């Protein structure tokens, strides 16, 4: 079975890094490169964090290209309250010695899509600014994209506003461009990703795997565990590994439950900016998306542990 060519896009970010580990470890995926966007932190921090992650994993050959430093129409709002000042607080990384590729991110993405023999799957783990700009600039390449799998949104509610999840809230216009592009989309939203959580015991099990990848994932999770000294070993911590659910949905068909929906993005609402309107009955339009409605957390953690074992 040939590997699925994948282009990662994200704003590392603790859970972006966990998704990177799961993607880079999988023998089902061929990660062609990664574009970085501002979101969880500034573009400088998210770029550094992507490079640090690949260096730590000994995968410096995976090219990283810096993308947009703010949403298309709105000012950047970072989530340092969640991910810390660096955007990846917790692990102690050695000094960085690699740099992003010196190429415009739109050209970087276009080259990867053009040069791939098979259609490329784009995995978007942050605000969709880079992907939206790339699609607007290269309408002719849409038929070279298999699908866009993104972490974002929620069928009901949100985590950054009452009506919206952070990635979509941050750049609602970009998400609308992607959603309306005609490319099949898979939305890994909060109904699934909120279940992707571990407890202290499971962090210990991950650390005990003893690879550089498992140490990194455990250190990232410990950052959140340290915020809950009151939690016992069996209590699930509050920090879901949201982004890694995108990869789990691609590499395993028994982890994320998806349902067909007509998906539209609210961009004009005073209180509902970035709301992902999921119509599971298809009364407002044809089904253009598969939306996650549940997650098998035990299976997810098994996939994460397996990735940590495979990446030495």
Active site residues: 242
- Verify binding: residue 7, ligand RIB, rule CB under 6 A: no
Residue 166 touches which of Ca ion, ligand RIB, none (CB < 5 to 8 A by kind)? Answer: ligand RIB
Report d(CA 141, CA 122) in Å as an integer: 12
| Residues ≥6 apart with Cβ < 8 Å to 136 | 177
Provide the minimum distance between the beta carbon of 113 and ligand RIB in the complex, in angstroms, as a whole number: 22
Please state the closest distance from residue 168 (CB atom) to ligand RIB, in A.
9
Residue 40 interacting with ligand RIB (CB under 6 A):
yes
CA nearest neighbour of 64 among 109, 30, 25: 109
165 touching ligand RIB, by CB under 6 A: yes
CA 279 from chain centre, in angstroms, equals 23
Binding mask 13-52 for Ca ion (x = CB under 5 A): x--x------------------------------------
Query: Can you list the alpha helix ranges (DSSP code H) found in the chain?
Result: 14-25, 43-56, 80-83, 105-115, 129-137, 166-170, 172-179, 190-193, 200-208, 212-225, 244-251, 297-310
Which part of the chain contacts ligand RIB (CB under 6 A), choosing from 10-18, 111-119, 202-210, 247-255? Answer: 10-18
Find the part of the chain contacting ligand RIB (CB under 6 A) among 112-120, 159-167, 173-181, 300-308.
Answer: 159-167
Question: Shortest gap between Cβ of 159 and Ca ion (angstroms)?
Answer: 12
Contact in structure between 10 and 34 (CB atoms under 8 Å): yes
Q: Could you give the CA distance from residue 145 to residue 147 in angstroms, rounded to a whole number? A: 6
Among 130, 167, 199, 276, binds ligand RIB (CB under 6 A): 167
Q: Which of 48, 159, 211, 222 touches ligand RIB (CB under 6 A)?
A: 159
| Distance (Å) of CA 277 to CA 74, 154, 165, 265 | 20, 8, 12, 6
Phi, psi of 70 (to 5 degrees): -165, 160
- Where does this chain touch Ca ion (CB under 5 A) — which range of 44-52, 79-87, 201-209, 238-246? 238-246
- CA distances (Å), 268 to each of 51, 112, 136, 176, 275, in order? 36, 34, 20, 11, 10
Nearer to ligand RIB, 214 or 276 (CB): 276
Instruction: Say whether residue 126 binds ligand RIB (CB under 6 A).
Output: yes
Q: Ramachandran region of residue 220, left (φ > 0), alpha (ψ -120 to 50) or beta?
A: alpha
Candidate segments 160-168, 194-202, 206-214, 291-299, binder of ligand RIB by CB under 6 A: 160-168
Beta strand 289-295 with 276-279 is unpaired
Restricting to residues 117-136, which ones interact with Ca ion according to CB under 5 A?
Answer: 125-126
**Using rule CB under 6 A, residue 153 touches ligand RIB:** no
What does the binding site for Ca ion look like in residue numbers (CB under 5 A)?
A: 11, 13, 16, 125-126, 243
What does the binding site for ligand RIB look like in residue numbers (CB under 6 A)?
A: 11, 13, 15-16, 39-40, 79, 125-126, 151, 159, 165-167, 242-243
């Amino acid at each position: 079975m040939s590997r699925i060519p994948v282009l990662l896009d994200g704003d590392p970010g603790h859970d972006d890094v966990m998704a990177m580990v799961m993607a880079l470890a999988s023998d089902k995926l061929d990660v062609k490169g990664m574009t970085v966007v501002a979101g969880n932190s500034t573009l400088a921090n998210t770029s550094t964090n992507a490079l640090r992650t690949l260096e730590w994993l000994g995968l410096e050959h995976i090219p990283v290209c810096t993308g947009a430093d703010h949403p298309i129409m709105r000012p950047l709002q970072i989530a340092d309250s969640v991910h810390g000042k660096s955007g990846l607080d917790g692990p102690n990384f050695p000094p960085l010695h690699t740099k992003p590729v010196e190429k415009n991110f739109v050209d970087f993405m276009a080259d990867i899509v053009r040069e791939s023999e098979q259609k490329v799957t784009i995995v978007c783990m942050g605000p969709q600014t880079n992907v939206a700009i790339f699609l607007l600039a290269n309408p002719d390449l849409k038929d070279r994209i298999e699908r866009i799998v993104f972490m974002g949104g929620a069928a009901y509610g949100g985590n950054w506003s009452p009506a919206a999840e952070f990635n979509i809230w941050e750049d609602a216009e970009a998400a609308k461009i992607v959603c309306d592009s005609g490319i099949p989309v898979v939305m890994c939203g909060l109904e699934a990703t909120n279940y992707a959580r571990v407890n202290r015991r499971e962090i210990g099990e991950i650390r005990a795997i003893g690879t550089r990848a498992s140490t990194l994932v455990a250190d990232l999770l410990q950052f959140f565990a340290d915020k809950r000294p009151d939690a016992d070993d069996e209590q699930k911590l509050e920090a879901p590994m949201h982004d890694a659910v995108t990869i789990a949905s691609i590499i395993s068909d028994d982890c994320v439950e998806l349902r067909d929906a007509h998906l539209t993005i609210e961009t004009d609402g005073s209180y509902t900016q970035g709301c992902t309107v999921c119509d599971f009955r298809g009364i407002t339009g044809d089904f253009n998306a598969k939306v996650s409605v549940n997650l098998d957390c035990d299976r997810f953690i098994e996939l994460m542990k397996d990735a940590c074992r495979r990446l030495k």
